[in-house]
Amino acid sequence: MKRTLFICTLAVLLVGLSAGAQSADFSRYVALGDSLTAGFSSGGLVQTFQQGSYPALLAHQAGTPDFEQPLVSEPGIPVLLTLQALLPNPVIMAPDVAPGSPINAEYPAPYNNLGVPGANLYDLIHTTGNIMNLLAGNQDNVMHDLILRDGQHTALEQAIGLQPTFVTMWIGNNDILGAAVYGTPVEGVTMTPVADFQSMYQTALGALATNTSADIVVVTLPDVAAIPFVTTVKPYITLPDGSHVPLIGSNGPLPEDAYVTLNGAALIAQGYGLPPGIPGANGEPLPEDMQVVNGVPVPGVVLRQEEISIIRDRTAAFNNIIRDTAAAMGAKVFDINDLFGSIVRGDFGVLGGITLNADFLTGGIFSYDGVHPQAVGYGLVAMSLIDFINQTYGTSIPQVNMFQILCPGGDCAGPAETQATHAVFSAQAAEQVQRIFAPRLANAPMARRATGAHRAVRSDHVLKVQKGAHRVQ
C-alpha cells in the first residue's frame, strides 16, 4: 500500500514537473525577417516601435536576456509618417526634419533582431550591409547597412553566428508585397518566381536547421491584398444621391471589385481618375500598371481582380512551400493568417470593450503607411505567436500586456496639439512607401550591396568586434 502510494506520488510529481518545464529555450533568441520583424511602422524605423516589435515582445515575455535591436532615435529612419489632419481628407506626411540616427550601432555582436525592412528571401541569404556606408551619408542600402553593419555577413549568417537557441523566421513578404504596392504583379520584378522562392527557402531554412540547434518557428505570409494600403480607397466616387460613378483607370473605368492603392489617393486628389463632370477632374486616368521612367519605377495604383488573384495564388504557393519546407526540416509553422484573417474580416472582436479592425487610421491596428502594423498590431502578432509557442512547445510564456500597449502607463486620454490641413496621403508619403518596397527592376538585388569603397572606410573597432562576435561557419 505504502509502495503504491509512493509510486503514485512520484508519478504525480513527474507529471507535474514535465507539465511545468519549458521545452523551448529562449536564452538566445534570434528573429529573422523583414520590416514586420524589425518593428517598422508608419514608413520608418524608430525605437518606440522597435521596442514593441513582436520579437522584442516575445523576448521580453520569454525572459530572453539582452535582446538587442538596431534601435533608431526619433524621428526615425526614414522620418516616420505622421497624421497631419483627419478631415476633410486625411493628410499623411513625414515632417521635413532630419532623420533619426542609429543608437545601438556599436553593439559588439550581431543583433538578436535581424529583421531588415525591405528584405526579401534573396536578401536574407545574400545581401550584406555596412554601417559606415550609412554613416557616410549614403542612402543606397540603408536598412541592411543599419542592421547588418559589418559589410561581410548576411542576416542568415549573422543569425547562425549567434548560435541561437530559438529562431523565428518570417521572410517572404517582400517576395510578393511589391506586386500590391506597385499595383502590378510582374514575375521576377514585383514578385519572386515560385521555383526561386522554393530553392531559396530550402537554402535559408536548411542553413538554420543544419548550423544551429535552435528550435525554429517559421511564419506564413499574410494576404497582402487585404491590407489597408490596398483596401482603403474605393474605385468609385459616391454622388450625393448615393450612386457610384467609377473612377477611370488607364485600362478603362474601374469595376466595383477593383482596388485603388493608397498611392492612388494622392493622384485622385490631383484630379487623376476622376470621371468627366466631377469637379477637379484633370482628364487623366489613374495609372493602373507600373511603368519605368528613366530607370525609376513608377507604381500603378490599381489592382483589378485578375491581379488580386495572381497575388493571392502566389502567396498561397509561397505558403505551401513554407509549410512543406518546415515539415521537411523540423521547423514549426505559425500561420499568421489565423490572426490576420480575423482582423481583415472584422471579426477579431474587442479588447476590454475596444473594437479593433483593419480599417485605415481608425481601426487601431495598422500604421499610417497602410502596410505595417502600429504598436497595437505588433502586440497582437506577439500575442498570437506566444499562444502558438505555448501550445506547440508546452511552454507557459506569459502573455503580453495589451493594456500597456493600448494605453502606455495607464494614461490614454492625453490630448496634444491640433494639426493643420493639407492634402491626402501625400505624394511624399506615397513615395516613402514605394521606396521601401522598390521592385528589383534589373532583377539584380546585388546592386544594392555595399561597395568596396564603402567597406574601406569602416571603423576598425566595428570590424573587430563584429569578427569576434561571429563564430563563422
Partner 1 sequence: MSGMNRKQLVAAAAVLLLVPTLSWGAGFALFEHGNKAMAMGGAFTAVANDPSAVYWNAAGLAFQSDKGIQFMAGATFIDASQDFTGESPYPGAGYTASQKSQIFFPPHAYLVYPINDTMTLGVGVLTPFGLGTWWEENFAGRFISKRVDLKLYDFTPTLAIKVSNDVAVAVGIDYTIGQIDLTKGIGVINPYTQRLADVGQVHMFTDGASNTAFGWNASIFAKLGSGFSAGVMYRSQIDMDLDGYGSFTQYPTGYADFDAALGAMVPFGQKTPLKTKIKFPDYLSVGLAWQNAKWTVSGQVGFMGWSSFQNLPINFTEHPELSTTVEEGYKDTTQYRLGVEYRVNPTWSLRAGALHDETPQPAASMSPLLGDGTRKGYSAGVGWTNGKISVDVGDLYLVFDKRSTGGMSFDGYEGTYDTSANLFGVTFGVRF
Residues 268-287, one symbol each (x = binds partner 1 by CB under 8 A, - = not), give: --------------------
Q: What three-state secondary structure class fits 245?
A: strand
51 in contact with partner 1 (CB under 8 A)? no
Q: Quick check: 45 binds partner 1 (CB under 8 A)?
A: no
* All cell numbers assigned to 386: 506566444
Q: Which residues between 399 and 428 bind partner 1 (CB under 8 A)?
A: 399-404, 406-408, 410, 412-419, 421
Q: Which of 9, 23, 309, 355 binds partner 1 (CB under 8 A)?
A: 355
CA–CA distance, 368 with 357 (Å, rounded to integer): 14
237 burial (CB, 10 Å; 0-12 / 13-18 / 19+) is middle
Task: Considering the complex, state which of residue 199 and residue 355 has its C-beta at the smaller distance from partner 1.
Answer: 355
CA gap 86, 84 in Å, rounded: 7
Task: Single out the residue of 95, 147, 92, 97 nearest to residue 118, CA to CA.
Answer: 147
- The span from the CA of 252 to the CA of 301, in Å, is 13
Kindly indicate which of the ranges 79-87, 115-123, 134-142, 295-303 contains the residues binding partner 1, using the contact rule CB under 8 A: 79-87
Rounded to whole angstroms, how far apart are CA atoms 357 and 347? 8
Q: Which among 156, 2, 56, 45 is positioned nearest to 435, based on CA atoms?
A: 45
Task: Using alpha carbons, select from 229, 306, 297 the residue that is nearest to residue 266.
Answer: 229
Burial of 98 (0-12, 13-18, 19+ CB in 10 A): exposed
Q: Find residue 150's DSSP bridge partners.
A: 130
* 87 vs 293 by CB, closer to partner 1: 87
Stretch that binds partner 1, among 83-91, 160-168, 224-232, 270-278 (CB under 8 A): 83-91
Nearer to partner 1, 79 or 125 (CB): 79
Select the residue interacting with partner 1 from 1, 195, 293, 350 (CB under 8 A): 350
Task: Please state, in angstroms and rounded to a whole number, the distance separating the CA atoms of residues 15 and 24.
Answer: 18
Verify binding: residue 227, partner 1, rule CB under 8 A.
Answer: no
Q: How far is the CB of 90 from partner 1 (least distance, A)?
A: 8
- Can residue 362 be called a binding residue for partner 1 (CB under 8 A)? yes
Stretch that binds partner 1, among 82-90, 96-104, 227-235, 238-246 (CB under 8 A): 82-90
* Closest approach of partner 1 to the CB of residue 341, in Å: 18
Give the rounded distance of the alpha carbon of 113 from its chain centre.
13
CA atoms within 13 A on the CB side of 431: 8
Q: Is 197 helix (H, G, I), strand (E, B) or coil?
A: helix
Q: Residue 258 has what DSSP assignment?
A: -
Q: Which of residues 109-168 bind partner 1 (CB under 8 A)?
A: none
Q: Does 20 bind partner 1 (CB under 8 A)?
A: no
Contact status: 240 vs partner 1 (CB under 8 A): no
Cβ–Cβ under 8 Å, residues 92 and 84: yes
Among 194, 245, 361, 427, binds partner 1 (CB under 8 A): 361
Q: Which of 100, 364, 370, 439 binds partner 1 (CB under 8 A)?
A: 364
* Nearest distance from C-beta of residue 397 to partner 1, angstroms: 10
Nearer to partner 1, 52 or 185 (CB): 52
d(CA 151, CA 450): 7
Nine-digit cell at 176?
510578393
Residues between 371 and 400 with contacts to partner 1, criterion CB under 8 A: 374-376, 379, 383, 398-400
**Is-contact 155 147, C-beta < 8 A?**
yes
CB 371, min distance to partner 1, A:
15
Enumerate residues 439-468 that contact partner 1 by CB under 8 A.
none
Nearer to partner 1, 233 or 258 (CB): 233
Quick one: which segment of 64-72, 154-162, 183-191, 359-367 binds partner 1 (CB under 8 A)? 359-367
Q: Select 277 or 415, whichever has its Cβ closest to partner 1.
A: 415
1 binds partner 1 (CB under 8 A): no
286 by DSSP, 3-state: which?
A: strand
The three cell numbers locating residue 43: 514608413
Of 352, 444, 452, 472, the residue at the interface with partner 1 (CB under 8 A) is: 352
- What torsion, rounded to 10 degrees, do the Cα atoms 362, 234, 434, 278 define? -120
| Nearest approach, Cβ of residue 88 and partner 1 (Å) | 8
> For cell 495607464, what's the residue?
410
Task: By CB under 8 A, name the binding residues for partner 1.
Answer: 83, 85-87, 90, 349-356, 361-364, 367, 374-376, 379, 383, 398-404, 406-408, 410, 412-419, 421
